[in-house]
């Protein structure tokens, strides 16, 4: 926050009282006027890996728009913090919002969001991506980038041990076994944090479609005893048994460091993590291949969705300036810079994928061989997501698949329509 103007006003007012000089009063008045003229907009986003990028873009925007100040706010557990702030009426001017997700739908339906349907910058977005923000013919958000999950791998380890990239689930398991026999930790997993769901969300996305989740939201999908769910639980334990011994106590930032240190061969995570890995070790050689969720390589889908998308609060004090900032961020130039920086798949038209490690996955997404995040369909929103992660952690520790599936069944019944 820029508070030097306020301090200067106080000093000058005091000087005026002591000296009785009109010059001090005039200067103070000018400072007050200048302070009031600055339009401050809160930009609330929880992508830690993107803070530096947005800082640079904010400087660029402010230089071109005197009198407008963009304050980036980045806090841990951003979605939960946002939910609390919305509930108490303290809504950020601009904040991350995912289409389809229940939190977005409810906020739009309850008039918390500004209608962006007819804004020119919305037309710059790939329609198949942007249309996910549609609610009753209107759009209350705009997409900047898409994420994609995959298996990040240590290229040196694969090459030195002459191990080929697996394309099916059975090949994936065989690959993990080969590394285990070589005394190399096959896969690193951050099971102590919300990223515990990074692995099994891939399995869910390749097992159930939108129609299934609509049934689940109505309490019409029986999870207990479902062969597909039972198979997912078994696959979770298979991978867990190949992970580092302390995975249940290891956080994502620890895994990032261990991975670039060469302490594991593979790491299931999204494109959004790549800037952090490269920052930790610029020389680290890695690749990324599609997650082989099934034994049919031609039917395996890439898990992903809108990763960076924004909405504007309907209560924003300066809506026109907020829209101007979003237009700036979603311009082709800014979007290309963001894709190059993060390795994300852009949602903006005509932006190229230049990060070699992501090209294969980006091409699959372009071909339509992808599946949206399952949790974006859940009526429980972030509450259901947190419950899912909690039950997944409990399952990995207890290995009780029957209890796990019952918990998930009860979860959907609790949040049903």
For the chain, give the percent of residues with pLDDT over 90: 84
Check whether 251 has a pLDDT greater than 60: yes
pLDDT at 35 over 60: no
Residue 234, pLDDT > 90, answer: yes
- Parse the chain into domains and list their residue ranges: 1-37, 38-146+306-352, 148-304+371-415
Task: Work out the end-to-end distance of the chain between its first and last CA atoms, rounded to an integer number of angstroms.
Answer: 43
Q: How far apart are CA 131 and CA 143, in angstroms?
A: 10
Pick 38-146+306-352's CATH classification: 3.40.190.10, 3.40.50.2020, 2.60.120.10, 3.40.50.300: 3.40.190.10
Mean confidence (pLDDT) of the chain: 91
Q: In degrees rounded to 5, what are phi and psi of residue 379?
A: -70, -20
User: What's the average model confidence in pLDDT over 103-117?
Assistant: 96
Residue 3 clears pLDDT 60, i.e. is over it = no
Reported as a single tens digit per residue, the pLDDT across 72-99 is 999 988 999 999 999 999 999 999 999 9
Q: Hunting for tokens 């240190």 — which residue is that?
A: 261
Does the structure show a pLDDT above 60 at 342? Answer: yes
Q: Is residue 414 very low, low, confident or very high in pLDDT (cuts 50, 70, 90)?
A: very high
| Range 213-236 average pLDDT | 96
CATH of domain 148-304+371-415: 3.40.190.10
What is the reported pTM? 0.83
How large is the average pLDDT for residues 97-119? 95
Residues 6+ apart with CB under 8 A from 77: 46
The pLDDT value given to residue 14: 38
> Nearest 5°: phi and psi at 137?
85, 0
Express each pLDDT in 286-321 by its tens digit.
999 999 999 999 999 999 999 999 999 999 999 999
319-340 pLDDT tens trace: 999 999 999 999 999 999 999 9
Q: Which of 129, 95, 137, 132 is nearest to 112 (CA)?
A: 95
Q: How far is CA 240 from CA 28, 189, 325, in A?
A: 65, 8, 43
3-state secondary structure of 185: coil
pLDDT, one tens digit per residue, over 60-73 is 999 999 999 999 99
Q: Supply the pLDDT for residue 197.
A: 86
What's residue 382's pLDDT? 84
> What b/e readout covers 317-341, taking b as 16+ CB neighbours within 10 angstroms?
eeeebbbbbbbbbbeeebbbbbbbb
Angle, in degrees to the nearest 10, between helices 319-329 and 332-342: 60
Q: What is the pLDDT of residues 149-174, one digit of tens each?
A: 999 999 999 999 999 999 999 999 99
The one-character DSSP state at 97 is -
pLDDT value at position 361? 95
**What is the secondary structure of 312-355 as a DSSP string?**
EBTT-S-HHHHHHHHHHHTSHHHHHHHHHHH-PEE-BTT-----
User: What is the predicted pLDDT for the residue at 195?
Assistant: 78
Q: What is the pLDDT of residue 37?
A: 58
Does residue 9 surpass a pLDDT of 60? no
CB 186 within 8 A of CB 180: yes
């Amino acid at each position: 926050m820029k508070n030097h103007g306020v301090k200067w006003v106080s000093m000058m007012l005091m000087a005026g009282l002591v000296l009785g000089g009109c010059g001090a009063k005039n200067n103070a008045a000018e400072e007050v006027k200048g302070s009031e003229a600055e339009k401050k907009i809160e930009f609330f986003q929880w992508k830690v890996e993107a803070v530096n990028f947005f800082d640079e873009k904010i400087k660029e925007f402010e230089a071109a728009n005197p009198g407008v100040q963009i304050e980036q706010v980045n806090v841990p557990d951003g979605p939960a913090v946002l939910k609390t702030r919305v509930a108490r009426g303290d809504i950020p001017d601009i904040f991350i919002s995912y289409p389809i997700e229940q939190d977005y739908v409810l906020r739009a339906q309850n008039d918390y969001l500004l209608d962006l349907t007819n804004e020119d910058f919305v037309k710059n977005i790939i329609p198949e991506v942007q249309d996910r923000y549609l609610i009753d013919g209107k759009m209350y958000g705009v997409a900047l980038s898409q994420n994609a999950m995959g298996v990040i791998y240590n290229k040196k380890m694969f090459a030195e041990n002459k191990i080929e990239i697996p394309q099916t689930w059975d090949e994936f398991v065989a690959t993990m076994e080969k590394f285990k026999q070589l005394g190399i930790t096959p896969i690193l997993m951050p099971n102590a944090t919300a990223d515990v769901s990074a692995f099994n969300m891939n399995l869910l996305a390749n097992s159930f479609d939108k129609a299934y989740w609509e049934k689940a939201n109505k309490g019409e999908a029986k999870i207990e005893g479902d062969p597909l769910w039972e198979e997912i639980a078994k696959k979770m334990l298979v991978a867990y048994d190949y992970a580092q011994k302390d995975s249940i106590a290891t956080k994502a930032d620890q895994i990032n460091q261990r991975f670039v240190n060469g302490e594991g061969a593979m790491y299931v995570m999204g494109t959004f993590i790549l800037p952090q890995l490269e920052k930790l070790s610029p020389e680290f050689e890695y690749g990324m291949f599609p997650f082989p969720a099934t034994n049919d390589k031609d039917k395996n889908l890439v898990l992903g969705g809108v990763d960076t998308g924004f909405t504007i609060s309907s209560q924003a004090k300066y809506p026109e300036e907020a829209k101007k900032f979003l237009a700036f961020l979603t311009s082709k130039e800014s979007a290309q810079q963001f894709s190059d920086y993060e390795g994300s798949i852009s949602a903006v038209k005509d932006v190229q994928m230049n990060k070699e490690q992501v090209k294969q996955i980006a091409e699959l997404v372009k071909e339509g061989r992808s599946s949206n995040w399952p949790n974006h369909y859940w009526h429980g929103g972030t509450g259901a997501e947190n419950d899912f992660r909690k039950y997944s952690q409990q399952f990995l520790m207890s290995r009780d698949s029957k209890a796990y599936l019952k918990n998930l069944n009860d979860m959907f019944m609790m949040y049903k329509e």
